[in-house]
A and B are shown apart, each in its own frame.
Chain A
Amino acid sequence: MTLRVTAPLLERADVLDRLSAWWPAAGSGGGAFVWLVGEAGIGKTSLLRALAGRGPAWWGQCDPLSTPRPLGPLLDLADGPVPALAPLLRDEAAPHRVYAQLVDRIRAEPAPPLLLLEDVHWADDATLDLVRFLVRRLESLPVLAVASIRDDELAGRPELTRVLGDTLREARVHRVGLTPLTLEAVRTLARGSEVDAERLHEVSGGNPFFVTEVVAGGLASATVRDAVLARVAQLDPPSVDVLAAVSVAPRSLDVEHVATLTGHGPDAVDAAVRAGLLVEANRSLSFRHELARTAVEDDLGPARRRVLHQRLLGLLLESDSADPSRLAHHAIGTGDPELVLEHVPPAVEEAEARRSRREVTALLDALLVHRDRLDPVTECRLRTKQALALALLDRPDDGLAHARLAVDAAEVLGDALVLGPALVASARCRWLLGEVHVAEREYADAVDILRPGGDSPELAGALVEQARHAMLARHHVPAIDRSTEALGVADRLGAVELQRMATLILGTTELVTGDADEGTTVLTGLLATAREQADGDLAALALSQLGTGSGEIRRYVDADRWLRAGVEEARRADHDYSLSYNTAWLARIAFEQGRWTEATDGAEGPARARGGSAYVTPLTALCVLGRVRVRRGDPDGTSVLDEALQLGRHAELQHRWSAHCGLAEAAWLRGRPAEAEAHLADPFREALECDSAWARGELGYWLWRTGHLDTAPEGAAAPFAAMIGGDWAAAAEQWRELGCPYEEALALAEGDLEAQRAALELLDGLGARPAAQWLRARMRDAGVTSVPRGPRASTRSHPEGLTDREAEVHALLVEGLTNPEIAQRLFISPKTVEHHVSAVLAKLGATSRRDLGGR
């Protein structure tokens, strides 16, 4: 076994840590035996390989033969690290002599080895005896023995069950089960492929083998399929019929129904279950894996499938207990338009009620397939609904296609109540695609078409959307006016949903461009209502507005609180867009507060969403990434900011201004302030046209910083206005209160020598090399002779006055590392470690490392 450096196993770090922790240290006497348990494909072999990478490993494998090699694993060892076993095995010595020899060899090793026994479910009896032999001697046997075993192979193998049961009673024997991958891990594995991660996770149950097979071969790929069909082929026709019937049911099939559908009895069912393809639980049958089910179902052939769906549908309708989505599933399976049009709409309603957005779009597609049977108004309404559903699923381009068809048809129909909403759906998709001005026009058109008809939900809806748009443009007065008008119409109609939307927009507008406290009150009131009514969507929206709105006006405590709650809520409500957006904003908050590593960590995920049609989230995340790199002096800062602005070229100013400032800052830090104007001129003009104080402030500041502005623009946010106005002390104080260390440092840099020293400490602490360099140069140019040296030489603000290195040593001391271990970890000599340890003990007033929790 060679050490292979590969990407780490997902979600196995804690298992590896636990296993490593059981690995005895040299000279400590006793060992440990671990049963590594899991289903086929869960990754036992991969884990053992990863573990083997951590030290000398002795591998022994059991083979899937009907008559296994006796002591097969020991034959492997004899060929490799334990040649002393070879003569005994050749001469067929009594097993206990072979075991004893192995034990002697283990004890003779300078450091405890790792003994790996693979696939023990295929072990012969002698190997199982070896396991017992080892376990009985663990107290004085310095070894970590790990045996992998498939727990789904235990049925019908009582000897395996016995050895597991017996050994697990011993103190030094452990059982570690490998769990399936979470959705996050599946996402990681599916990255870069065409496969939808959520579906893959659901379908594979998180089984790593299946996941990687599918990612390699596509959903229901040939390899898994072939394996399944090969097993099916081994069964007799009645069992195959049973499999066919179960394959057509979406999740499981009642055992009684199987009998009715296929005419076969329990024997056929049992055979299929024994073959490992079906699982029975609570009198219903299902496939063990969705992949197996789809493989069998696909193999059926369309005609046979349709017939089965028809029969099942009939059965379910008779029994009167089936839920709408099951009926819809089978109706669609029949391909019969009448059945589809009858059974799918209730399922759509149910899916909408359950907020199952993916289900909604799939069902709507199924209905639209039969559009020649639909009347024009119904088709329009369905397409409008589909457009909105797709927009919510982050697929506005697909949504727009439906919306355009709806608008064209509605214009022909001449019905304002159909055309208005279609225009609104189209406008929403266009906004998400970045066609902001077209969206604006379509919203206005929708309102104009609907107003003459008086109060209607459609009018209130269109007004709400128009108000939302004004809010997004940070046009304070129009946003307030439209949302107030919308609220009026909604109140008169008693349209609760629209009342809430109008309130949301009103609250957000107040928060970001008006009275922030008033806005917060309105939005928290809405949040309370949402929680009372268990309205997940509304709660997610309220939290998002509270979070990003507070963040935009730099109320960080509020922002952090609301954004974190928003992330939780978004997960619960299945709202992908909101989750990603909130995460990107948390990264932005972290960036502005000087927590740069947290910022880049958080931005990584949302930034990768570029390439999709919705740009705001990746734009926000890329801006964070770019600005951190610029401030740290790391490569690829400006290129990322350029990319962000390219993505957001149609975006409203509030999504862009930070990136524009980042590019200006980069130019300034590079010593080319003149270049900054090109980045700032247009956005600054836009800022003057909207009502955002912080946009005016930050853009104005960088114009001033680079010598292109003399006085602060009217209505600029206070700390920026103070900086421009020359009141550096007030600005620094305000930045300190807000919690923005970098801006605080920039303000202090304009002050006296003491302020500049404080600024340097801040910048060094942040790792803001370019700005620190600029300030040092400035101080030297001003004739300052004792400019403080770089970060390594300073004692950063450690409470007990430890230097950085001492703090590192202290941390490892407390973890319990010895001096040689600390030296190895920090790449310094043991002598240096001793020196640091003395210093740490002295500064902390301890007499020995044990006082600090060390060894």
Chain B
Amino acid sequence: MPRYLVERTFPGGLEIPQDASGVQACLNVVDGNAGHQVTWVHSYVSPDHEKTFCIYDGPHPEAIRAAATTNGLPVDTITEVSVLDPYFYRAG
């Protein structure tokens, strides 16, 4: 399944509380994604919480968008990516 980098912008800043409801919010996202065969791997967030860069696995870009709609999340861009690690090619 392809991996995608999804950029999102949250004007005013994204906020997820650090308690049970925050856990639930994230689990709800996972549930919402599941309906579209989309898996949220992890995200990078800017310090002001206004931009996120989210790594997702999904069958195609439309599934990413549909999952985003289900979960009420914005989508700026979608780029297909694969991982490149600095030490990936080092022998031994």
Contacts and interface: CB of A to CB of B under 8 A. Distances in A.
A828 B60 contact: no
Contact of A828 (B10, B37, B79): B10
Interface in B6-20: 9-16
A600 B62 contact: yes
Contact of B31 (A53, A823, A827): A53
A334 B78 CA distance: 62
Given A633-B77, A634-B61, A829 B9 contact: no
Contacts of B41: none
Contacts of A531: none
B80 interface: yes
Nearest to A811: B72
Contacts of B69: 597
- Which 5 A-B residue pairs are closest in the complex by CB-CB distance? A635-B80, A634-B61, A829-B15, A600-B62, A5-B34
B5 to A, nearest CB: 10
A632 B34 CA distance: 24
Given A635-B78, A769-B77, A828 B61 contact: no
Interface residues on A, range: 20 to 34
Contact of A5 (B10, B31, B60): B31
Given A825-B72, A827-B15, A635 B62 contact: no
Contacts of A8: 34-35
Interface residues on B, range: 20 to 34
B14 A828 contact: yes
| Interface of chain B, main secondary structure | mixed
Given A604-B62, A792-B9, A828-B15, A635 B2 contact: yes
A828 B52 CA distance: 13
B2 to A, nearest CB: 7
Interface string B20-48: 01001101001100110100000000000
Contacts of B10: 827-828
A829 to B, nearest CB: 4
Given A625-B62, A636-B61, 12 more contacts: A5-B30, A5-B31, A597-B69, A601-B62, A633-B78, A635-B4, A792-B11, A792-B74, A793-B11, A824-B21, A824-B25, A827-B14
| Interface of chain A, main secondary structure | helix
A823 B61 contact: no
A373 interface: no
Contact of B61 (A3, A5, A635, A808): A635
Interface in B47-68: 60-62, 65-66
Query: Which residue, A7, A629, A636, A828, has most C-beta atoms of chain B within 10 A?
Result: A828
Interface in A584-630: 597, 600-601, 604, 625, 629
A769 B74 CA distance: 14
B9 A636 contact: no
A293 B12 CA distance: 64
A7 B72 contact: no
Interface in A633-652: 633-636
A354 interface: no
Interface in A460-498: none
B13 A828 contact: yes
A808 B10 CA distance: 13
A260 interface: no
Contacts of B80: 635-636
B30 to A, nearest CB: 6
Contact of B34 (A7, A635, A826): A7
A636 B30 CA distance: 25
Contacts of B25: 824, 827
Query: Which residue, A8, A635, A793, A832, has most C-beta atoms of chain B within 10 A?
Result: A635
A600 B13 CA distance: 31
7 contacts: A597-B62, A633-B77, A636-B60, A792-B11, A793-B11, A827-B15, A828-B10
A769 B75 CA distance: 11
A805 B72 CA distance: 11
Nearest to A821: B21
A6 interface: yes
